[in-house]
Structure 1
Amino acid sequence: MRVAGLGFRTGARLESLRDALAGAEVNALATVADKAADPALRALAEVLGVEIIPVPAERLAGMETLTHSARAWARYRTGSLAEAAALCAAGPGARLVGARAASPDRLAMVAIAERSGA
């Protein structure tokens, strides 16, 4: 199972999210629960034909990530919302494929986590 974790700013559009994903093939999208109903995220899920996995903010706290954002740390107590959401949603034993990537407009970040055997 491959999950794309997304962190994005208010006002990010479908194009920002799609650009950050950069064509990666995933089975699901994940983000913090309070962003899961965002219209751009819902549109991306529809285009890709995948589900959105909302991750409660308290599950993100303390997740070890490859990168560190001061903004993510201040709000969620993790180094990267995208990386932490991907790991949480992919489940036990998941690993990051790489560090988060940003859309060219810097409005969205994406990280991919995968779990074998799922």
Structure 2
Amino acid sequence: MMVAGIGSRKGVTAGDVRAAIETALEAHGLTMTALSALATGEIKRDEPAIFLAARDLDLPVLVISDAALQSVSSGTVSRSDASQAQAGTPSVSEASALAAAGKGAKLFGPRIVLGPVTCAIAISGDVP
């Protein structure tokens, strides 16, 4: 399972979200067809652009609880003071991707920041 974790400022567009996903995938030599889902934290449950982008991409959105984000936060590589203060994790995008991809998940690298959106790609631990 490969997941794109999404973090954003309020009021972003679906185009902003898609552009960040495309940029993150390209940075790691991946294609959109590799993705199984998008993921974000509970704090972004009411951010319509994430859900619109997922619909456009025909992917589900997994909303990750604050507790689940915090449980994988030690595996994040980026740090945002705003993310830590608001969501209790150093990176909503990285922690969301890790939590959604499951036990043993690995990030392809640090989150990609594209304007008001961050995106991190994680793959489940059961893939060689």
User: Shared fold by TM > 0.5?
Assistant: yes
In structure 1, the residue matched to 2:15 is 15
Tell me if structure 2 keeps the 8 A contact 1:7–1:108.
yes
Answer with 83-92 or 39-48: which moved more.
39-48
1:53 CA drift (Å): 0.3
Range with bigger deviation, 75-84 or 31-40: 31-40
**Counterpart for residue 43 of structure 1:** 52
Contiguous gaps of at least 5 residues in structure 1: none
User: Does the aligned pair in 1 maintain the 2:106–2:125 contact within 8 Å?
Assistant: no
Provide the TM-score with structure 1 as the length reference. Answer: 0.89
AA aligned opposite 2:10: T
Question: Which of structure 1's runs of 4+ aligned residues deviate more than 2 A?
Answer: none
Which residue number in structure 1 is paired with residue 28 of structure 2? Answer: none
Match of 1:88 among 89, 93, 99: 99
CA contact (8 A) 2:4 2:122 kept: yes
Segments of 5+ residues of structure 2 without an aligned counterpart are 26-31
Using the size of structure 2 for normalisation, the TM-score is 0.83
2:65 corresponds to 1:56: yes
Judge which range, 57-66 or 44-53, deviates more.
57-66
Question: In the comparison of the two structures, how many residue pairs are matched?
Answer: 116
Q: Secondary structure at the match of 2:122?
A: strand
Could you tell me how far apart the structure 1 residues matched to 2:57 and 2:125 are? 21
Structure in which a larger fraction of residues adopt helix: 2
RMSD between aligned alpha carbons? 1.6
Q: Which residue of 2 aligns with 1:109?
A: 118
One-letter identity of the residue aligned with 2:21: L
